[in-house]
Amino acid sequence: MFKMIATYTFRETNVFFGACVLTLLVLGGGASAAASAPAVSWVAEPARFTDPRRREKLAQAFPAIDRNVTDFLSREQVPGAAWGVVIDGELVHVGVSGLRDVANGAPVRPDSVFRIASMTKSFTAMAILQLRDAGKLSLDDPVEKYLPELRRLEYPTDDSPRITLRHLLTHAEGFPEDNPWGDQQLAISESRFDELLRGGIAFANSPGIAYEYSNYGFALLGRVVSRVSGMKYKDYVRRRILQPLGMRSTTLEPQVVPPAQLALGYRREDDLWKLEPQLADGAFGAMGGMLTSLDDLARYVGFFLDAWPPRDGAMRPPLSRASLREMQQLWRSRPTVVSRNATGGVVLNSGGYGYGLRISQSCDFGHVVAHSGGLPGFGSQMRWLPEYGVGLIAFGNRTYTGWGGVFDDALAALQQTGGLMPREVQPAPALRESRVGINSLLGSWDDALIERLAAMNLFLDRSKDRRRAEFAKVRETVGVCRDRPGYLYSENALRGDWLLDCERGMVQVSVTLAPTVPPGVQHLELRALPPDADLAAATGLPPRACPR
């Protein structure tokens, strides 16, 4: 009795509950009123969270997160650690464990300061975008415009493009991955940096064709910041980023951290904790020299989270919301990897690099922003979900403390509470009007109404007569329908899917509006569904997790 009238391929979208506030209609009336209504706007309200108990639910995961972290620290023999959960820019949960100074038995405290190594790269990228926004440089400028010493650089091929600032920001300059070597360059002098540049730089690839993680590249960006701003890199970052954000404990210089706050770094060797010397701030500081505390890093992560959703209103320094969102986009991809976790589940890792930040998507989350940091004696990570308003931060004082699996477990624990849901995209008024009109057409066809709703292509793609017949067939199949308020499946403000409850089943309506003002309906499909349909399967909703 039921059959698919049209096939619709669903894009990755958000499920909306309560996203569209409409008066319940018994379909079959109201067509003339809808037909005479004025054109409505395409401008939608910002996406928003709709669960009033969201933060209360998320807090239920904190004990599980703490247990997982302490188990990890014990298993991996990490001397000391600090971790936190950030929600809507606020550090809402803090955990500490172990010792920041093994020899003196000094415990880690919430205000302890740890080195965060390569997480410094996003500060460097933020400085570059500040200078870009001020009109002092362009991301597509060749680096040699600001660093003339690179004009003598020998490229791997005659057709290689000159390295740009964008190449450096996204690890696409062609230099080889250099983590072991780069770690040991952190404290070198500017004169030693000059010597390295005079000696040339080896290439693994031609610039602009592949991702290859380069500390050297970010050290060059630090020098660009100094040259363009006329300040030392550390002074620029302190004045233009740290001070505006109120990050009072954050620094590039270990010697200025009060001894009672400084976490010392260790490596495990011969079944002993061996102290790693604190590398001083040097010419490579822009790639990994930063030290910070939980409270300060939460402010920083919260600043990135505050860039979402796009909206009207005042912006606060040190960077515009648009530029912050630009930093959190994928600009250089890496190969996608599919593997199995310890329980046999499928794990997807797809993404690459933004500007000083790693960007990825998983089976559960379509947009993950993160960066880790590792140096002799330390390992740290920050990770957040822009559309969910939630972030995680952690520090450890053992060489290359690896937080990846712990953060995966933490997000899983947050998900299990039911509170980890994305903001709901709000339909534009034009989409709301289209919903009311199309629902009305299912009750009683009206040429004037469909013509007012339609974009110029709708009847060219499928004639009005055929559209009328399709509506009649659905009506004959399912009977009289009522709109189902509170359930809208929508990807953005101008595309939506909704369900109607009918006498003999349900109807799914899929609509996309055109880029005109006012927006007309350019895509319209109906599907009749049986009353007992599995909605996730029948409507083609994308799975929330990879298949097991």
Q: Of 391, 416, 441, at which residue does a domain stop? A: 416
Q: Residue 376's closest CA among 215, 183, 218, 214?
A: 183
Contact 62, 70 (CB under 8 A): no
Would you give the end-to-end CA distance of the chain in angstroms?
A: 33
Q: Residue 389's closest CA among 422, 361, 358, 426?
A: 422
Chain-centroid distance of CA 39 in Å reads 35
pLDDT-based confidence at residue 540 (cuts at 50, 70, 90): low
Non-local CB neighbours of 366 within 8 Å, separated by 6+ positions: 12, 387
Residue 19: is its pLDDT beyond 90? no
Q: Is residue 5 part of a domain?
A: no
Residue 192: is its pLDDT beyond 70? yes
- Share the mean pLDDT of the chain: 90
Contact 163, 207 (CB under 8 A): yes
Q: What is the tens place of the pLDDT at every residue in 275-308?
A: 999 999 999 999 999 999 999 999 999 999 999 9
Looking at the structure, tell me whether residues 58 and 43 fall in a common domain: no
pLDDT-based confidence at residue 14 (cuts at 50, 70, 90): very low
Q: Is residue 238 part of a domain?
A: no
Go through the chain and tell me how many residues it has.
548
Looking at the structure, tell me whether residues 268 and 210 fall in a common domain: no
Give the bridge partners for 509, in sequence order.
498, 526
Residue 234: is its pLDDT beyond 80? yes
Q: Which of 347 and 367 is assigned the larger pLDDT?
A: 367
CA angle, 241 then 396 then 369, to 5°: 50
Q: What is the tens place of the pLDDT at every residue in 425-466?
A: 999 999 999 999 999 999 999 999 999 999 999 999 999 999
Structure tokens at 162: 């000159």
Q: Is residue 2 part of a domain?
A: no
Q: Rounded mean pLDDT of 320-335?
A: 96
Contact 118, 372 (CB under 8 A): yes
Residue 344: the pLDDT is 74
**Rg of the chain (C-alpha set):** 28
- For the chain, the domain total comes to 3
Residue 461: the pLDDT is 94
Residue 491: the pLDDT is 79
Residue 534: the pLDDT is 72
Residue 532: the pLDDT is 82
Looking at the structure, tell me whether residues 519 and 434 fall in a common domain: yes
Q: How many CB atoms lie within 10 A of CB 453?
A: 26
Residue 106: is its pLDDT beyond 80? yes
Looking at the structure, tell me whether residues 442 and 506 fall in a common domain: yes
Residue 487: the pLDDT is 59
Residue type, 310: P
Residues 196, 178: Cα–Cα separation, whole Å: 14
Q: How many CB atoms lie within 10 A of CB 312?
A: 6
Q: Rounded mean pLDDT of 32-54?
A: 73
Residue 39: the pLDDT is 53
Looking at the structure, tell me whether residues 189 and 310 fall in a common domain: no
Looking at the structure, tell me whether residues 295 and 364 fall in a common domain: yes
Residue 349: the pLDDT is 78
Residue type, 303: F
Contact 133, 396 (CB under 8 A): no
Domain housing 364: 54-118+250-314+326-416
Q: Is residue 242 part of a domain?
A: no
Question: How many angstroms separate the most distant Cα atoms in the chain?
Answer: 85
Residue 531: the pLDDT is 87
Q: Is residue 244 part of a domain?
A: no
Residue 69: is its pLDDT beyond 50? yes
Percent of the chain with pLDDT over 70: 89
Residue 63 parent element (H or E): helix 62-76
Residue 29: the pLDDT is 37
- DSSP one-letter code for 276: E
Q: Is residue 75 part of a domain?
A: yes
Residue 340: the pLDDT is 77
Residues 248, 293: Cα–Cα separation, whole Å: 9
Q: What is the tens place of the pLDDT at every residue in 107-150?
A: 999 999 999 999 999 999 999 999 999 999 999 999 999 999 99
Looking at the structure, tell me whether residues 454 and 497 fall in a common domain: yes
Q: Is residue 164 part of a domain?
A: yes
Residue 15: is its pLDDT beyond 90? no
Looking at the structure, tell me whether residues 258 and 171 fall in a common domain: no
Q: What is the tens place of the pLDDT at every residue in 253-263?
A: 999 999 999 99
Residue 340 parent element (H or E): strand 332-340
pLDDT-based confidence at residue 239 (cuts at 50, 70, 90): very high
Looking at the structure, tell me whether residues 86 and 170 fall in a common domain: no
Q: Rounded mean pLDDT of 78-89?
A: 98
Residue 221: the pLDDT is 98
Q: How many CB atoms lie within 10 A of CB 532?
A: 8
